[in-house]
Structure 1
Amino acid sequence: MDYANLVTAVQENKTQETNKIIEALRPRLIAFLQIHMNANRSDAEDCAQDSLLTSLEVIKEDRINDPDQVVSYIMSICRNNYLKMQKKKRPEATDEIPESHQQPPNQLQTLLDEEQEQLLEWCLSQLKQKYQDFMAYWFDHPDSHAKKVAEHFDISVNNVWTRKHRLIQKLSECYQEKSKL
């Protein structure tokens, strides 16, 4: 297709011919952006549309020096528009750290975590050895299936769930009691 006719068609208000040329040119611009600029489809379509509108305004205002180079001109506008779009999406470099990326000092939280862990260990030590082993297994293998745990301890699957539930309840009560001190 001869895209040089676009300048003449726009300047002479030939709407059908202008639309026909634009319909043929738009997919070419989208493909250019996707292939050469690595644009995604949506960005390429938006950018191609904006570039065509800008180009039509420039042609109407008779600011095109060489109508034979109209496609190169439109592609340059398209590339520049895409680069501007990408620049807007990039975060700006700054010396200040936004509050959303700042973390409060964690010394207090570390101390609280250590205290909680000590309380839990104390509560665990109050259980019978076979129940300590049972809970230790769950702490070491949190993703284990009940069937595997049942085989390991040679008990039924129902017994695994019952024992686990009761021990967690017992540890929770112990922890609550000791943390009030």
Structure 2
Amino acid sequence: MLQVLTAVKKEPEKRQTKGLFRTKEEVITPPKSYTDEIVEIIRHTCRFDWMMIEHVQLGDDVLDYVLVGPKGVFLVRINRTTSAVHMTNRDCRLETPLGWKNIYPHPMEELERMTKHVRSVLKRQCGQAVPVTSFLIFPETPRLKVERIKANCAETFDVIDDVITKTKLELLSEATIKHIAYYCSERQVHK
């Protein structure tokens, strides 16, 4: 389990490199992980009462991130495709060297099915309805075109912060938050 505000900035790495005539010290910035990006973006919106759990397996689905806080449960699924994506309510297409290729099943249908499943599981576990919001993020795609989609789909993790900021009601108590976070951490898949 990871509390959102515990992320520490990584220092750049320094190493000696051999140049043509002399050695010099080169500064290499460490690679940024998706976890660091999410924490950096939502650090100011989500204070100490939020928790983030990585790689949670609920049923057949493995969720990349589950954020639990007073405003509800936020599921984040990452699609790591490196080609351009065009998505509408009816179809999802990837750009390939041979043209556009339709993807079945539609990622949004999978996300909706997963969200409904998580809602029903959490309702059974907590004894009350728990607000669940899901996100589909394409961080590695060079171009994402989204048309007429009601779900939260974006290229960056900024959409998570926007939705959390717009959610005004705080519906979950501290005990419920801890119960959900414990339930999710028990189902965490360690990679």
Q: TM-score band (shorter)?
A: under 0.3
The structure showing larger relative contact order (alpha-carbon pairs under 8 Å, at least 6 residues apart) is: 2
- With normalisation by structure 1, the TM-score equals 0.22
Higher strand fraction: Structure 1 or Structure 2?
2
- With normalisation by structure 2, the TM-score equals 0.22
Select the structure of larger CA radius of gyration.
Answer: 1
